[in-house]
Structure 1
Amino acid sequence: MNTSHAAALLAVPLAALLAACTPNKPTAEAPRPVRTAEIRYDAAREANRYVGTVRARHEVDQAFRVGGKVVQRKVDVGQTVREGDVLAVLDDADYRLAVEAAQQQLTAATTQARQAESDRQRLNALKADGSVSDSDDEKAHSGARTAEATAQAQARNLELARNRLNYTVLRAPRSGVVTAVKFEVGQVVAEGLPIVSIAAEGEPEIVVDVPEDHLANFTKGKFKASLASAPGESFDVVLREMSPEAVPQTRTFRARLKPVSTRRLPLGATATLVAERPTAQTTVAAIPAAAITQNNGKPAVWAVRRATGTDAFALVEMVPVTVHGFRNDDVLLSGLPAGTLVVTAGVQKMAPGLKVALSGADRAVEVSQAAR
């Protein structure tokens, strides 16, 4: 075997050995998609939430002005009524008898008044020739006046009896919707007992109870409200009335707020009121609370910065921040330059220098920041 052939044979195992010892070239890891939020500063605001109820500004309890047994019920809860509509009727038999009795008493009193006046006139004629004394003449005049007064009093009694007969029919004093019915046919109701509530639909309000420790700042806030049936649709409301004294049972103060614009609100609906007011002059940024993590026991966030070159990905780094408070699902913080993008989802999977992929909207924000 010649020398060249031996060298070739030795070269083959050596190449195989070197190939086995050479590590494989690592494959590039794909950038991790992330969701981000831009840091935007605004004046710090304190927000409080209250749960209230939609009520009518004008709601009146209706009651019979006389007592008796209910024989007809004309309305149900939720029914719309107009002014003058019949709500309920009482048994009026006793009141009709009272009208008849008053009529008979008036007839008797009127007859007596005419008789007394006739007697006075006759005595007055006899007085001229001295046949009647002054004392008898005065008695005749007094009797005539008394009988006339009695007749007038009986006329008023008849009018009162007729009014009480009319009161056996309960009518709506104004148009609105029936919000409560507290009686049934056959029930005996007392005079003045509230049995029907009617609310005017034209001026709905939101009624909330404010704790005493919120009272000083409540009137300084700006208010937005939403209904439980449409939580995503908020609308502006303004404070119309604040009770000057606390409700004895709850020790809270009742506030009534009305919509700024004409808006139809279903009576009785549950409403959420958000009261915001500026606090100190500190400016803060609001981002989702899920973006907050910790570094050595202190709050921090993962900030996104553009990688060098023309790569379409970005890198993340942990940056400490100052937390000023929480508002609903957001955290209020400071310590980052305005316009910084921070990771808001999957922060537990982040690591320093990790490549992340931005959405189209986030890349547009990055481009606009670079242009500035």
Structure 2
Amino acid sequence: MTNNRILTTHVGSLPRTQALIEANKKRYQGNISEDEFNLVIEQSVNEVVKRQKEIGIDIINEGEYGHITSGAVDFGAWWNYSFYRLGGLEMTDEDRWAKAEKVRSEPGKIKLTSFSDRRDRALFREAYEDPDSGVLGNRTAVGNPVFAGPVTYIGQSQVQRDVDLLKAAMDKNGVEQGFMAAISPGSAARLEDRYYHDEKALLNALADALSIEYKTITDAGLILQLDAPDLAEAWNQIHPEPTLSDFQDWLQLRIDAINRALVGIKPELVRLHICWGSWHGPHTTDIPFEAIVDQCLQVNASGFTFEASSPRHAHEWRVWEKPGRLKAGQKIIPGLVSHSTNAVEHPQLIADRIVKFAELVGPENVIASTDCGLGGRLHEQIAWAKLEALTAGAAIASKQLFG
């Protein structure tokens, strides 16, 4: 909070410019040089930072424009970038989103099934398979790699480029605070493991590799946002539904891996993003926030972003009614506009939501945000209109809270 007002931010992915979409496709096809590609990214980053500043977003990013997307421009792109930054991977033609493999877990032995075998999808099979239902949105099928050797980090030049471009654009536009998203070890571990055959060993190797990316971001004075949908979304990817105890044990391995990767990084430069997946599905099999929130708060971070406006999770503001749940130095960054609906939230509704959270944890501990990334989930016009509504709602709430 600065100058007695509620700050605003978002979760990361923003609508890509047409030039960047075309450049990604050309890069995937081998029809553009690295210098030409980087020039398009630079121009696009300058544009997206300028637009965020004009709208009034306080804590901005580069739209995740530097995250190479295998030619895809949709929600599947959020983790594809890591395929180009981790060594030890071997590309396949298999798409984990389309793969129909059915993996079954046993008590005490959780295994993730394929994305298309999720329990929510099984309950609403017809809706998921109807191309006109709008459930999955526009998604490009791409091959996914597998872990075939020791995990290393090979993305130093890419993350340094992203950091440099964001910092330059911030300086040019007079922006003080910026963040950059990076995949969590547990989310990266959802690729098939053909090398370690040991869950903890893979998570530790990923933590050690990704810590290089994390430190590059925070050493530049930027906030690191850890994208960790595995902490909530994975519950739906387990057949049959596990016991809560088994899932919490599985979850703890991922929390521990995150903290291993954050050794030496100040918590005030870290925020954790928790979500139940970005696809526009029913989400009837999502795990309740109450079941995982305390474990998530174990992460050595100062900020925690989470869905708070989607029709499936808007009621879960109640988790913050428990006294002492939020520790000193920790802030909540609730989503006040949803990526799962085309309706643009009214600023007064956003303000009401902000005030509700502020009354529970204190206005100094609330930053207004979005449920999830908006790029690829919504039409460009709608996505930017939601961010405009967010800043307008924060202004109303600030006046109500501080006068």
Is TM > 0.5 for Structure 1 vs Structure 2?
A: no
TM-score by length of 1: 0.19
Determine which structure has greater relative contact order: mean sequence separation of CA pairs < 8 Å that are 6+ residues apart, divided by chain length. 1
CA radius of gyration, larger in: 1
Give the structure with the higher percent helix.
Answer: 2
- Larger proportion of strand: 1
